[in-house]
């Protein structure tokens, strides 16, 4: 049996991790963005028992999201300083792609359409073309503040406050970007209301382009399908997770943790969820089963990422932000774990 080993990265970010992202393909490079104003580049060693820090890229303000571009030498970051940046990881050169009027919460790269899309708390999306850097980014107004963003091969899912979910068609965005300035902003392909009652925390798209899953601050995950037919919509479901029974002396009941991170396995199509309870669970979306739950991590799981070949799962752990916290700091308690998955560890059993 292939090893199922897990190790802790020796030089984790110095403050809370906001996002993790593996390079495309079979590359072993991993990016981590942190509230300590840096984006970190790691490479998992060939033996799979260590990850080396290749470099860090300092920003003016905390980095809220990071993703790879077309290859393992290109990265995009979303900064609290309102900027969307492209980083050449080989030279360390940073270029500003666009500027929002509020902190940028998320950034995603669509390899299929060579687009970089950023979402900011100024309630706009910026769509940038990587093939034509001189082109002005396309700005799309949103009805609410975006909190999570994810791209599938053909769709872009934006989750906002007030449980709004907009799904954009990526080819339509690409053509809107190419069309002359002044044309009307593209409309969402679908507008939905989240199946979850509470604030959306994370969104992830299925690698097979069939649907997506969302998670909320109230220990719940929903799985939905893109196709707008009655049958497909009837298949959607939601379930509770990342909860703990409260001790009896505290009145019993459940302590409900936010589900901070979701990530689909690129090969098997199963997905992982990471919650404020410090656990990571693997789910089979088709069979509606939990396949695995890993040993509790010392703090809240803030971010998750599968490597391009699905061999590794990166887990960012730092203290969770809870209601009423006045002095949050992830310093000293931020950790980065990398788990090498066994051959069939993330393989689902398929629908019943």
Partner 1 sequence: MGKKKRGHPDIEELLARPWCYYCERDFEDLKLLISHQKAKHFKCDRCGKRLNTAGGLSVHMNQVHKETLSNVENALPNRQGLDIEIFGMEGVPEDIIQQHNQRIIQNFYTAQAERQAATGNPPRGFSGGQGPAKKIKYETPEEIKKRLAEHRAKVAAQKAAGANGVPATAAPTDGQSPAQGTSPFPAPQPGYPYPAAPGSAAVAPYAANPAYPSTTSAFPPGASPPPGATTAPFPLPARPPSGSAAAAGAPPYFYNGAPAGFPAPGAPGAPPSTVDELVANAARQGNGPGGDDIDQMIRMAEAGIRPGATATAGKTEEAGTGEKKKKGTRMVYGDTEVSPEERMAMLPRYRWVEEAAA
CB of 68 to partner 1, least distance (A): 21
Q: Using CB under 8 A, pick the residue from 53, 111, 172, 255 that binds partner 1.
A: 255
Instruction: Retrieve residue 173's tokens.
Output: 């965005």
Residue 329 interacts with partner 1 (CB under 8 A): yes or no: yes
Please tell me the distance from the alpha carbon of residue 237 to that of residue 27, in angstroms, as a whole number. Answer: 34
Site for partner 1 in 265-324 (CB under 8 A): 276, 283-284, 287-290, 320-323
**Contact between residue 141 and residue 194 where contact means Cβ atoms under 8 Å apart:** no
**Contact between residue 253 and residue 247 where contact means Cβ atoms under 8 Å apart:** no
x/- site string to partner 1, residues 34 to 73, per CB under 8 A? -x------------------------xxx-x---------
Residue 226 interacts with partner 1 (CB under 8 A): yes or no: no
CB of 35 to partner 1, least distance (A): 6
CB of 200 to partner 1, least distance (A): 9
Please tell me the distance from the alpha carbon of residue 25 to that of residue 72, in angstroms, as a whole number. Answer: 9
Could you tell me which of 17, 1, 8 has the C-alpha nearest to residue 295?
A: 8
Which residue bears the tokens 């300590």?
36
Could you tell me which of 153, 259, 162 has the C-alpha nearest to residue 212?
A: 153
125 or 138: whose CB is closer to partner 1?
125
CB of 117 to partner 1, least distance (A): 18
If binding means CB under 8 A, how many residues of this protein chain bind partner 1? 62
Please tell me the distance from the alpha carbon of residue 94 to that of residue 109, in angstroms, as a whole number. Answer: 17
180 or 327: whose CB is closer to partner 1?
327
143 or 253: whose CB is closer to partner 1?
253
Task: List 210's β-bridge partners, or say none.
Answer: none
Q: What is the CA radius of gyration of the chain?
A: 19
CB of 104 to partner 1, least distance (A): 11
Residue 327 interacts with partner 1 (CB under 8 A): yes or no: yes
Residue 218 interacts with partner 1 (CB under 8 A): yes or no: yes
Q: Using CB under 8 A, pick the residue from 181, 251, 295, 350 that binds partner 1.
A: 251
Please tell me the distance from the alpha carbon of residue 284 to that of residue 208, in angstroms, as a whole number. Answer: 14
62 or 266: whose CB is closer to partner 1?
62
Could you tell me which of 294, 299, 261 has the C-alpha nearest to residue 277?
A: 299
Site for partner 1 in 114-153 (CB under 8 A): 121, 145, 147
**Contact between residue 263 and residue 304 where contact means Cβ atoms under 8 Å apart:** yes
CB of 182 to partner 1, least distance (A): 29
**Contact between residue 176 and residue 186 where contact means Cβ atoms under 8 Å apart:** yes
Residue 264 interacts with partner 1 (CB under 8 A): yes or no: no
Please tell me the distance from the alpha carbon of residue 269 to that of residue 310, in angstroms, as a whole number. Answer: 10
Residue 168 interacts with partner 1 (CB under 8 A): yes or no: no
- Which DSSP helix (H) or strand (E) runs through 15? none
173 or 317: whose CB is closer to partner 1?
317
In sequence order, what E strands does 80-196 have? 83-88, 94-99, 104-110, 115-120, 124-129, 138-141, 146-151, 155-160, 164-169, 190-193
Summarize as ranges the residues that interact with partner 1 (CB under 8 A): 16, 18, 35, 60-62, 64, 80-82, 103, 105, 121, 145, 147, 161-162, 193, 195-199, 201, 217-219, 221-222, 236-241, 245-246, 250-258, 276, 283-284, 287-290, 320-323, 325-329
């Amino acid at each position: 049996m292939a090893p199922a080993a897990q190790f802790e990265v020796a030089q984790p970010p110095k403050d809370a991790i906001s996002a993790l992202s593996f390079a495309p393909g079979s590359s072993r490079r991993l990016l981590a963005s942190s509230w300590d104003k840096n984006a970190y580049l790691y490479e998992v060693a060939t033996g799979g028992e260590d990850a080396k820090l290749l470099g860090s890229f300092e920003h003016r303000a905390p980095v809220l999201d990071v993703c790879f571009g077309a290859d393992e030498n290109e990265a995009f970051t979303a900064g609290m300083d309102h900027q969307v940046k492209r980083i050449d990881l080989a030279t360390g050169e940073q270029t500003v792609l666009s500027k929002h009027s509020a902190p940028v919460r998320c950034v995603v790269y669509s390899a299929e359409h060579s687009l970089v899309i950023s979402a900011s708390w100024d309630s706009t999306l910026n769509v940038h073309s990587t093939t034509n850097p001189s082109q002005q980014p396309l700005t799309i107004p949103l009805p609410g503040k975006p909190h999570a963003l994810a791209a599938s091969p053909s769709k872009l899912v934006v989750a906002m406050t007030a449980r709004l979910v907009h799904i954009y068609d990526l080819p339509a965005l690409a053509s809107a970007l190419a069309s002359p300035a002044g044309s009307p902003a593209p409309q969402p392909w679908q507008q939905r209301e989240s199946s979850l009652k509470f604030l959306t925390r994370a969104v992830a798209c299925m690698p097979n382009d069939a649907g997506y899953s969302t998670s909320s601050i109230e220990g719940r995950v929903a799985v939905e399908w893109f196709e707008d037919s009655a049958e497909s919509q009837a298949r959607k479901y939601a379930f509770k997770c990342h909860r703990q029974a409260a001790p009896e002396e505290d009145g019993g009941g459940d302590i409900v943790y936010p589900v901070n991170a979701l990530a689909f396995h690129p090969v098997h199509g199963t997905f992982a969820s990471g919650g404020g309870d410090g656990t990571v669970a693997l789910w089979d979306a088709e069979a509606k089963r939990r396949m695995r739950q890993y040993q509790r991590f010392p703090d809240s799981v803030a971010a998750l990422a599968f490597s391009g070949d699905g061999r590794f799962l990166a887990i960012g752990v730092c203290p969770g932000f809870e209601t009423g916290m006045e002095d949050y700091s992830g310093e000293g308690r931020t950790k980065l774990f990398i788990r090498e998955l066994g051959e069939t560890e993330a393989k689902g059993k398929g629908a019943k």
